[in-house]
Chains A and B, each alone.
Chain A
């Protein structure tokens, strides 16, 4: 299972922002997320909780960690587990539905839509290989992102 995207927000005590990153990204997630598909919230972040939920779910769906047809927790259960209002999760789910990443049915609940995954399988496997190589070499996540951004900028210029 892939780890969720680090929740945005100020760095925890004792940690600093990466000097290379264009946007502030914590060196480590503020809360070590549980194993398996999970999301983490940083309530002290300036980013609204619904946006954190939406972006992390969107990343998990785009990366294939949540496969098409996977059922998401009910709005009430996820809201209870995260200690947020039901409306917060409802808004995140509604925005994901509007983006075509999930669809809600009365009987089945909210499930990941087909074709919600980003990129071809070749790109997906290349990304997986990159992440595996970075993990093996002990490279921090923000350095990996910096490398990818640099490669994207170079490709745009070239």
Chain B
């Protein structure tokens, strides 16, 4: 199988998975609206939808810009060629989280003469759906593992992988390879993204409760926001990991390492799984108990 065929096949697979995921999410949204939720519930859920769709749009636009510009116009902007391109997914994730934070900060405060509040303490960080949080941890762990392993396998320049041979007369290296020169900044970028996510989860927990909503409905709205946030972040981490696997696998194949092809195949698989994770519903775990009944919303 040629390299071009792998790339074309992976691209087609990605488009199909993306389309299927979007259909699932949109159909579920329509079912939810048709399921008897009140206008008040729709207004609050709609605000969350607008916030996170807008944040996702900002993040995706930045990702496309980064994909087009960073490997070309900014390829030599740093001492390590293409470093900004390697940081693209993490940067897009940070832009997404920053846009989401803006939406959370501007969440409307109670107004009017009559106001009420529960005396139930809230956790410091909003709780996302467990499976979405699990996906985030999975890609974070895989990214760290990939970059650390590649760092040790890479050549001393941190940008290439030496030829896989035991013959001392033959030498050479292939790149670009995500050794330490790329790996350390990518790990720092992922850590920054994770820290920004924690801040955003704290903001979701701290935002004002929806006036007149039951405590369970308020909890549901926070879980929904947190899950949306974490889904986007896990996609950014997975894209970062997929990029490292693809370029690492490509360079390793050139240097005749047998696992190179497997790393290249793993790259679209990671991306497909992270896109499928976008369809994780909010109410699959403990948050399900927080889902509102229409009677509660109208109470």
Contact = CB atoms under 8 A, between A and B. Distances in A.
Interface of A: 7, 12, 30-44, 57, 60, 66, 71-74, 76-78, 80-83, 109
A9 B214 CA distance: 25
Interface in B159-188: none
Top 8 nearest A-B pairs by Cβ distance? A31-B114, A83-B110, A81-B117, A44-B113, A37-B119, A80-B208, A40-B116, A83-B109
Contacts of B132: none
A30 B119 contact: no
A43 B115 contact: yes
13 contacts: A37-B119, A37-B120, A38-B117, A38-B118, A41-B114, A43-B114, A73-B119, A73-B120, A76-B206, A77-B121, A77-B205, A82-B116, A83-B109
Contact of A82 (B110, B113, B299): B110
Contact of A36 (B111, B213, B215): B215
Interface in B92-119: 109-119
Interface of B: 109-122, 205-209, 212-215, 299
A123 to B, nearest CB: 24
> Among A30, A34, A60, A72, which residue has the most Cβ atoms of chain B within 10 A?
A34
Contacts of A41: 114-116
B113 A30 contact: yes
Contact of B110 (A7, A37, A81): A81
Contacts of A38: 116-119
A113 B114 CA distance: 29
B115 A60 contact: no
A31 B109 CA distance: 17
B80 to A, nearest CB: 42
Nearest to B215: A36
Given A34-B215, A35-B214, A36-B215, A82 B120 contact: no
B173 to A, nearest CB: 54
